Structure 1
């Protein structure tokens, strides 16, 4: 049994003591291997062209069939458009809500599965969490770490929550866009940090930190690796801070009282300064979504 499925089965046998229902998103193959515990309810989602999942022994099970297509996206490919007649419907959203709301108290876990366990099951899991606040969503148990899949999930979530006066498609679309931008930005910062680490320190230039000692200030040399680690941490925790503010750079042989961060920065390579400026800009970017009720 794969480790992820093994962990989920363990949680199914030991539900939360606080009484909050837990929801898992699984693939079809994993769901077909679950033990038929009386405390589990199943929402089985299969593709229109596939046979029903081989799942039995559960007293509470809802079977649905719809295609994995981002039906709200305006520029679908020709292949995706062919799936639109089998897209998720409002009636199916109502069926999910009715099924969950009718579950007896002894149901402590809801397992939602689709074919791959990435998009449709994750969308329903997120929607249940939003609709029923106290439903515990096991994010670590969701197979998808792909922001595109999460974007689809957020869009489908809107369809499920619309009847409750949801914030609207535009709101969730902006949330998804910000998630994607943040993920891309994080990878860009990581790539720049790796390039920065390869930049040579200019001759006659070493990073140092200052410490207060008896009789004045003392300069302590640090490795570039440590400098980068502290710099990135500082930029993420204090986005408005200047990169050079994390350390004071002293040219070798210069008196501490005469050295300045600006003078030292001028000795650094052009590319290194450029990378540091880009990282600072990206790390200080703000993501804001205005919560406006749908018209």
Structure 2
């Protein structure tokens, strides 16, 4: 990961297509793929399906392993968020952890939804926060008006936005988890970098692990980094493991959670003429309770 602060950083993200929001961007270090088989999901995991279905298929020793979803991503996948009406990139560094009540649940007519939360600020004064999620394929809101929730946000802007969000019920059960970032929580433990990422228990008891079952592929075009490696995310909860490939859906029976991975990939730096002011990897995912 390279952090070079300056105007060239922003230009790199906009013009090269290697930053958040483009398929040349991705998640964190490719080196953590060492424990993952290159032949697809192992027999101890449940694998995801294409976005047209949110069901999952359990594997046994007698069943053949499915081919990894390593081809071109399906068309129509989308996952983005606005927070209080702003895209995360404009928010700056924000740390928020408040008890709130769900005050609004409204579908956007295109598969996503807007959630409103009545909370209190640091002075105890009432304040409303909103989360609006654009989704493709469509999704269902995981909360209802009147529910008590704990809203937690960790956002930082090195020169793109690393965004981490959770919604929990008063007992701490996970209702929603959103991640759009170059690395997973607690990826860096040294004193400087650790402040840019939440602690490893941010999504607990859910555990997120990147996997790299695909070979790098290259696409013609103007990108300075034309080759990238599509990845997957392993979701672990209560002894159950579900692998979801990029631009795919899945489900965890434990916790009754729907899983969605929109981006999970890494730039193949060997094909780049020179390092750029973009992050080499990116992950964007959403986990929601099934109502």
Shorter chain as denominator, the TM-score bin is under 0.3
Q: Tell me which structure has the larger Cα radius of gyration.
A: 1
Length-normalised TM-score, structure 1:
0.22
Higher relative contact order (CA 8 A, sep 6+): 2
Structure with the bigger percentage of strand: 2
Structure with the bigger percentage of helix: 1
